[in-house]
């Protein structure tokens, strides 16, 4: 990885961490933090799957260490970022990255969160317990992220970033 890509990844991490502090809303039993999902989509489109997953992991780590996030930030953010990046890589379409984020976080991560939460957090909930808030958060964030990603793709700076 080159320095420019690392600096951009750091900026995305900063946006995701700060955004989670300032922008959230109630989503059933939990709170939705759509900025993480928007950053996942944008990073998947501009940087690819691996950098998007690294951004999601480091964002989750910072949020957990600072007390602004839970351990559920790891599967939710990382699975969505990975699927967003892979679908964008296969299709070349930003809206496919958004679909990947919604499915990866809203469906797959919410189902994997049940055993993960039982093991690491001592909870005992059913499979559909996490799905509604994960879906609300990932859908709202992915829609925001695809709007920004499409605009960036159309600008010269977006093409320059994609070439990093």
Q: Is the full-model pTM beyond 0.85?
A: yes
CB count, 10 Å around CB of 65?
A: 9
Pairwise CA distance, residues 126 & 106, whole Å: 15
Q: Is the dihedral of CA 64, 67, 72, 78 positive or negative?
A: negative
Rounded to an integer, what distance in angstroms lies between the CA atom of residue 155 and that of residue 147? 13
For the chain, the average pLDDT equals: 88
- Between 110 and 30, the higher pLDDT residue: 110
147 has pLDDT over 80 = yes
Choose among 100, 127, 102, 132: nearest CA to 113.
127
């Amino acid at each position: 990885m080159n320095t420019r890509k690392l600096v951009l990844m750091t900026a995305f991490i900063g946006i995701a961490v700060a955004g989670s502090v300032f922008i959230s809303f109630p989503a059933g039993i939990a709170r939705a933090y759509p900025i993480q999902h928007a950053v996942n989509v944008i990073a998947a489109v501009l940087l690819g799957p691996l950098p998007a997953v690294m951004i999601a992991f480091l964002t989750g780590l910072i949020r957990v260490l600072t007390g602004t996030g839970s351990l559920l930030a790891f599967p939710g953010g990382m699975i969505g970022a990975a699927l967003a990046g892979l679908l964008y890589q296969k299709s070349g379409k930003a809206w496919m990255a958004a679909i990947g984020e919604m499915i990866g976080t809203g469906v797959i991560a919410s189902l994997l969160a049940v055993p993960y939460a039982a093991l690491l957090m001592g909870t005992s909930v059913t499979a559909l317990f996490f799905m509604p808030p994960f879906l609300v958060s990932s859908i709202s964030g992915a829609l925001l992220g695809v709007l920004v990603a499409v605009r960036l793709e159309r600008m010269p700076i977006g093409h320059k970033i994609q070439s990093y």
